[in-house]
A and B are shown apart, each in its own frame.
Chain A
Amino acid sequence: MTPQEIQTRLRGRFGEAVGPMADTRRDPFFTVGKGALLEVAAFLRDEPDLAMDALEDETALDWPQRNVLEVVLHLFSFTHRHGVTVKVEVDRAAPSLPTLTGVWRAAEWFEREVYDLFGVSFEGHPDLRRILLPDDWEGHPLRKDYREAGGWHGISNERENPLVELRRLDQKRRQENLP
């Protein structure tokens, strides 16, 4: 099935909870309401003609202007060899989403990563903690408004840039050299 057909099928089942196909000239996607996500996911996996048995990827996008975080699911069916991209919008200030761990086990680590880098908390996740960054890291780096703290536990992440320093040195020397 094409993504369009899948979207139509879902729309028939879940109505307005499933958004329209996005108007894009690249890879198509559609959004799903946060409340219906679990049911849609289970439906996508269990319905024989959809059979999305694999969660290929789960990640997020930060849209500060719209004040939303989009959680992006890339689903794939090994039975029918078709796939679809589903997005869920969550509030940027208090992002949370029911976990998909019960539907696809791969979601466990993907959701930990999304939590780590975007700060989306997944309700019901069995082991929701940071995965890539240290446990006491502050902030969620892939958010657009993230600023580096300049170091971690006294370990600086800055170093002198010799190119800049040399330029300053040159300027001084040239000024001295001028008559």
Chain B
Amino acid sequence: MSNSHLFLKSGFPRAPLQNGVGRYVCQLQRLTLKFCKNNGSSRGMRDFIENHLVDFAKENPGIVVYVKPRRHRAPVLVGEYLNGDREWLSVRNSTQTEISKWIDLLKTQNGSSSSLRLRKMWHTDVPSIQGPWTPFLLRSPDAHNQTYPTSEASQPLDVPQTATEKLIELFKQQQLEADTVLEQKRAE
């Protein structure tokens, strides 16, 4: 029986339901705050509920907030997301500022991201616009029906000019100049 499910899953960055293309929808659906009324470890949670919870609920009408006092149980934040993920966060002995930070994180998340190792930092379904490189891209069609070995393809490249070729070239240039001089004389 494979134990791969115990290991950290890896994946690629995805946004649920093309979020952000049409409009941005906050993905946190429900937030449950569980705490104990008189235990010391829930003090931060109790302060947060007294001072900040109402403003938080006013600012984010799209998130349903449940408060669940439980006797002798550790304070816990549970966030439920639109794609069905459920993020369980123990906030034992944390102050109200830390709790509000964790709640902001829950609010801006798309799902429980702590369980996914990202393998890439970008994602696109249209990687190529000018067409991906193919071996046929730069091959000129006339190279297609050549049967190798052809003499022209088997020449060495960048062979330096031999002396005789250089001489022939110079002679030709002289010829040209001689002709042009002759023409000018004849023209006058």
**Do A and B make up one complex?**
no
Chain A residues with CB under 8 Å of chain B are none
Chain B residues with CB under 8 Å of chain A are none
